[in-house]
Amino acid sequence: MNRRAESNHALLWAVELANELRLPVLCYEAVTCSYPYANDRLHTFLLQGVPETSRRMRRLGIGYCFYLRRTAQDANDTLYRLAADASAVVTDDYPTFVARQHNVSAPGKLAVPYYVVDASCIVPMAAHEKREYAAYTIRPKIHRMLPEYLKPVPPVEVERDYTGQPPAWHCEVTDENIASLVASCEIDHSVAPSVSYGGGRLMAEQHLHQFLNFRLARYGKERNEPSAHATSDLSPYLHFGHIGALEVALAARAHAEAHNLAADEFLEELIVRRELAFNYARHAANPVSFDHLPQWALDTLDRHAKDAREPVYTRAQFERGETHDPLWNAAQQELLLRGKIHGYYRMYWGKKIIEWSGTHREAFETMVYLHDRYALDGRDPNTYTNILWCFGLHDRPWQERPIFGMVRFMSYDGMRRKTNSDGYRREIDHLRLTGVDPFRVQ
DNA sequence: ATCGGCTCGCGCAA
DNA sequence: TGCGCGAAGCCGAT
């Protein structure tokens, strides 16, 4: 999941192990056509990261090979074939989606040790023994441990360069052949690449620089205002591991100190709330379920299970953005076109799906489906936690009302009052009509 | 524009 | 055992 040569604890650990064993390191990356909702958008973003990762790994003396599994019939044993010639396999620990299952099933198929390293979090997931109840319970623990962990990852130094030839199945990905490689895969070609976000390390670094120089100072006050473009837009890059939370946190802190401004609100979201999400996913037997909602939320939702809903929309109506609410439709269009909804509007988006679905569980399924399929920042611990927050996870009870019970409600009037919703609608309409995002970072 | 009430449960101080 | 307070709420009073 952490697909980068920089600031990567898993890579550092692999190199240290290899140096101890007096062996070279080979970086292996792959994508199949069989993960859920495999489509042009997700494939393109992932493949756009490959050329730069490959260059930077090779520059470090680390071998690099990439396997593109185009059909379900192609061989699916490249990892095991590589491992047959290796002394150990090192990967990263990740608590959701395919990686979570793979890290359970892979070790049993290997004759060599299989190590998982926490390369996603700043304070390692393992530092928290139990599932935390809310942000306020994990916050003091994280702040207590931060001085120990908020430090740059030492540069990796391999003692033996990898000199072998890439395997016959290695796929050389270039900026020029990505479109044709994606077209050659047996995947869903109906979900087009994002109009706003290109994948890869260079794009991730561009977004970080844009954020530090033009947005961070406004983040505290304007992060909930989509037309202000005051957020980092880094979530797709963090999800695909093209950039790491640790290096982003260090860069934000350094920039804030150098320019005498506060990065507190940004660091709160990047560290405390993100790591609360990883803590939830790690300790949940099934993170994509209601199983771990707080009891007060389960009880209150249960008491309101049979409340009348009006209107009720089908999954297809939600998917096409065909509700009566122009703000909700705009948020859905942002998901369809950009592959990411502005953070504040995503909460509203989720709350309204609850309000306009036949049952709470159906609402949950719809939200998970739409994010798994369309969101570049989907399938991430953050995504599932954000969806479940709409049902009360990590939140507190509020005044009881229909359908939601004591789960927090969000209103159309509130969004109108608190944000420039007309500006947001205009921006998304422009995106839909022209297919061009004027805010795209080049 | 700002404030308290709504409501529950966790962590911490006593 | 009591108290403060919480991931982005709403509503009504001032």
A19-49 per-position pLDDT tens digit: 999 999 999 999 999 999 999 999 999 999 9
Q: Using CA atoms, how far apart are residues A124 and A181, in angstroms rounded to an integer?
A: 36
Close Cβ partners of A210 (under 8 Å, ≥ 6 residues apart): A441
Buried b (16+ CB within 10 A) or exposed e, A63-85: bbbbbbbbeeeeeeebbeeebee
Which residues have Cβ atoms closer than 7 angstroms to strand B? A 132-133, 137, 140, 294-296, 396-400, 406
What pLDDT was estimated at residue A322? Answer: 96
Give the DSSP letter of residue A405.
Answer: B
pLDDT of residue A329: 95
Q: Residue A168 pLDDT more than 90?
A: yes
Query: What is the spatial distance, in angstroms and rounded to an integer, between the CA atom of A265 and the C1' atom of C3?
Result: 27
How many CA atoms are closer than 13 Å to the CA of A88, on its beta-carbon side?
21
User: How much is the average pLDDT of A375-391?
Assistant: 95
What mean pLDDT is reported for chain A? 94
pLDDT band at A129 (very low <50, low <70, confident <90, very high): confident
Any idea which nucleotide's C1' is nearest the CA of A408?
C9
Task: Say which nucleotide is closest to residue A412, CA to C1' distance.
Answer: C10
Which of A 95-134 have CB under 7 A of nucleic chain C? 134
pLDDT at position A118 over 90? yes
Q: What is the pTM of this model?
A: 0.96
Looking at residue A67, its pLDDT comes to 97
Question: Where does residue A306 rank: exposed (0-12), middle (13-18), buried (19+ CB within 10 A)?
Answer: exposed
Q: Is the CB of A410 under 7 A from strand C?
A: yes
Q: Strand C: which nucleotides have any atom within 7 A of a protein Cβ? A: 5-11
List the A258 CA – C10 C1' distance (angstroms): 40
Q: What is the pLDDT of residue A344?
A: 92
* Cβ-contact A90, A106 below 8 angstroms: no
Pairwise CA distance, residues A45 & A3, whole Å: 12
Residue A52's pLDDT is 98
Average pLDDT over residues A292-306: 91
Burial status of residue A257 (CB atoms within 10 A of its CB: 0-12, 13-18, 19 or more) = exposed
Give per-residue pLDDT as tens, A429-440.
Answer: 999 999 999 999
Positions 126-185 in A, CB within 7 angstroms of strand C: 134-136, 139
Cβ contact A134:A394 at 8 Å: yes
Contact A367, A383 (CB under 8 A): no
